[in-house]
Amino acid sequence: MAQTLVNTRLRAAGTSVRTGPLAYWNPYLTGMLLGLVLLATYLVTGRGLGATGAFGAVAAWLAGAISPEHAATNLVHAKYWNDGAPLESWTLFLLVGAFVGALVSGVAGRRIAFTVERGPRVTDGQRLALAFVGGFVAAYGAKIAKGCTSGQALTGGSIFNVGSLVFMLAVFASAYALAYLVRKEWL
């Protein structure tokens, strides 16, 4: 009797949750897991994580499709040109893996949604334009700082790199200072 009651309750709970996305994991637990991934990356490669380099590799590949000479001699593209094989980039393959990992996690958590993330006071079109502009600006910042949230903040921060800590403080200072101006986009 008691067992039947428990089973009924479990089934009821199961059906009610099945309709929506599952809750995210505890941030401290997930942070610890992410830290172990970062540690493993250090142990294997000696270099930690990164993401912006993958975009640099694709940019060099695009430039090379138009003119290999230009891609090989441009000061920035040259770093990613890799003797004509810019797509054989460690960071690009890292992001390919990240895409699959996020997809698996998203499917398991029932969080796949073909939507636009925005607050109720902007349109989809406005949000997509702002996302593009934000991506452009973030890329420029990451190029100047020689890294992003992954490559500088996480990777450098965990080995006490002073420049990485300066970067992290500057990122948060800037975003907090601008948050009020763009509140319509999110709240």
Partner 1 sequence: MFPLSSFHEFSTAANLAMAVVLGFGFGFCLERAGFGSARKLTAVFYLYDMAVVKVMFTAIVTAMTGVFLLSAAGVLDIAELYLEPTNFAAQAIGGLVFGAGFIVGGYCPGTCVASMATGRKDGYAFALGMLAGVLAYAELTPGIDAWIKDTAQGAMTLPSLTGIGAGWWTLAFIAFLAFAGWGMSKLEARFAGLKPSAA
Site for partner 1 in 7-46 (CB under 8 A): 24-25, 27-28, 30-46
Is the CB of residue 185 less than 8 Å from the CB of residue 119?
Answer: yes
Burial of 139 (0-12, 13-18, 19+ CB in 10 A): middle
Smallest separation (angstroms) from partner 1 to the CB of 49: 6
Residue 63 interacting with partner 1 (CB under 8 A) = yes
Residue 116 interacting with partner 1 (CB under 8 A) = yes
User: DSSP secondary structure string, 45-75?
Assistant: HSS---SHHHHHHHHHHHHHHH-HHHHHHST
Is the CB of residue 22 less than 8 Å from the CB of residue 111?
Answer: yes
Answer for which of 3, 15, 16, 115 binds partner 1 (CB under 8 A) is 115
When the beta carbons of 17 and 137 are compared against partner 1, the nearer one is 137
Smallest separation (angstroms) from partner 1 to the CB of 106: 4
Residue 86 interacting with partner 1 (CB under 8 A) = no
Q: Report the alpha-carbon distance of residue 36 to residue 74 in Å, rounded.
A: 37
Subset of 136-165 contacting partner 1 (CB under 8 A): 136-154, 156-165
When the beta carbons of 13 and 24 are compared against partner 1, the nearer one is 24
